[in-house]
Chains A and B, each alone.
Chain A
Amino acid sequence: MQAGSKLRIEGLSKTYRGTGGGENVTALKDVGIEIGAGEFVSIVGPSGCGKSTLFNIIAGLIRPSGGKVLLDGRQPDELLGSVGYMPQRDCLMPWRTVLDNTTLGLELNGVRKKEAHKQALAEFERFGLSGFEKHWPAKLSGGMKQRAALLRTFLAGRDVMLLDEPFGALDALTRANMQQWLLDVWQEDRKTILFVTHDVEEAIYLSDRVYVMSGRPGRVSLDIEVSLSRPRKPEITMSPEFLLLKQKLLRPLEEAAAGGGLFVDDRPTLEEQL
């Protein structure tokens, strides 16, 4: 692919040494992923496929056993702190107000409190948090908590953001609203986003490209461009192109779930049906 990729992962592998004479566990094997600047890319895969390990490596929290993570075409001296990271749970600090939670990254960058508040407050409207500046996080709804956590990640000011199943714990309706909202926000800022989910529809709806991972050892088993036009509206999930993509992506996932390729799907494909 083109050289101008924002984040490029080459031949990444991770092996955990077995404890107490146990066998070594290969969590990731030869994983390659590429994301252009301003792209929205998703990774889907069953639980235990090494998504979390991959994320933790990109975030710089754990070291890979082999392979490279390149940012803007070069290996950074220290990966930790180079990319924005949003863990699965909102991780809002219950002892800080919503406003003070969102400015955490700015604060650690050494931005003065007054200036940090100013920057955060300018985004409160867009993140649907107006009026809740002085509230404790415990008083927020699930969707609001995730938006506050996202604002915290946005304000930390990294070009690349890793979002680990941010909508996984939300109910279906809130989830749909949040997807739409995230697309709008991303459309305006064009940050580079790597998004993990186990929901294939969510991945297609949001992304420019989707990587499918399969487990044990975790590797990329499929890589699909999503060429649906933007801006996207929810109706698009009913279009034949969307359903076609969905079926393409589901196939390797079903195979993985059935135990590594032994599963034979003899149902007619959508293409045949059409």
Chain B
Amino acid sequence: MAAPGTRARRVSAAVLPPLLFAVFVLGVWQLYTVIGDIKESTLPPPTAVAEALWNDRTMLLENAWVTIKEILIGFFFAIILGVGLAVLIRSSRTVERAIYPWLVVSQMVPIPAIAPLLIIWFGFEMQPKIIVIMLVSFFPIAVNTIDGLRAAEPELLNLLKTLKANKWQRFRKAQLPAALPFLFSGLKVAAALSVIGAVFAEWVGASEGLGYLILVLNNQTATTEMFAVIVTLASIGIALFLIVTLLERLLLPWYYESRESEGEGLHLEIEDKV
């Protein structure tokens, strides 16, 4: 409903500051490497990294595709496992008491340390990587969804009972939609973790992928190319995060719009005082 002019202004207000900040940081970095005469194998200037990104694009894309596949499949199973556990835990108090502590304990186990075991069990194929990614990213999904399934107002559930809603209808119509914003918070954290999981998994045993590429380049002290891989990995993480955010806005317009109006009011108030 906002006028196109204000909308454009709002977008530029959101995009411009971080963009300018990035340009500033890259500029300082470039100057530092040039003026300080830093060796490229120690810290390459941003322009050299950009060059490597372009020159090695085929190699980067081929390996990125392998890692992206692992991440997407691992992320998918993390959602299944996280949401599944959350629903199971919320289904009965006994189950909650039995499982919840172990859920927390499972996060005390350093996943990278058990990655070699997974290689022994499942070999060098995709399976162990998917399992590592799933294990590092299911936890925030599970914990947030558990909280979310508690979020429906008790009065609303009572109201549904008086309208003759059965247990399944109460879940479908109240508990599930109330949990969705929480689920998406978990997904955003999990998106970042899944990229870390993929790199770890590939370090332990892989013959392709961006994590594997870092190991190979490290052996050759090809620092500039390593930076190119890091930029690619970060882009994958950012893209995944943006996809989750976009899905959230599409699937939960009510959440986004209700929050937006509250947030606006708050900002205005603060600005008025300043």
Contact = CB atoms under 8 A, between A and B. Distances in A.
28 contacts: A56-B158, A59-B158, A61-B162, A80-B164, A81-B161, A81-B162, A81-B164, A83-B162, A87-B158, A87-B159, A89-B153, A89-B155, A91-B156, A93-B173, A93-B177, A94-B258, A95-B177, A95-B178, A95-B252, A95-B255, A104-B160, A104-B173, A105-B163, A108-B160, A108-B165, A109-B164, A136-B258, A139-B261
Interface of B: 153, 155-156, 158-165, 169, 173-174, 177-178, 180, 252, 254-255, 257-258, 261-262
Per DSSP, are chain B's interface residues mostly helix, strand or loop, or mixed?
Answer: helix
A237 interface: no
A85 B258 contact: no
Interface residues of A, number: 26
Residue of B180, B254, B257 with most partner-chain A CB within 10 A: B254
Given A95-B177, A138-B258, A80 B161 contact: yes
A32 interface: no
A103 to B, nearest CB: 11
Contacts, number: 67
A156 B180 CA distance: 27
B161 A95 contact: no
Contacts of A80: 161-162, 164
A88 interface: yes
A94 B155 contact: no
A252 interface: no
A245 B156 CA distance: 36
Nearest to A136: B254
Interface of A: 56, 59-61, 80-81, 83-89, 91, 93-96, 104-105, 108-109, 136, 138-139, 156
A126 to B, nearest CB: 22
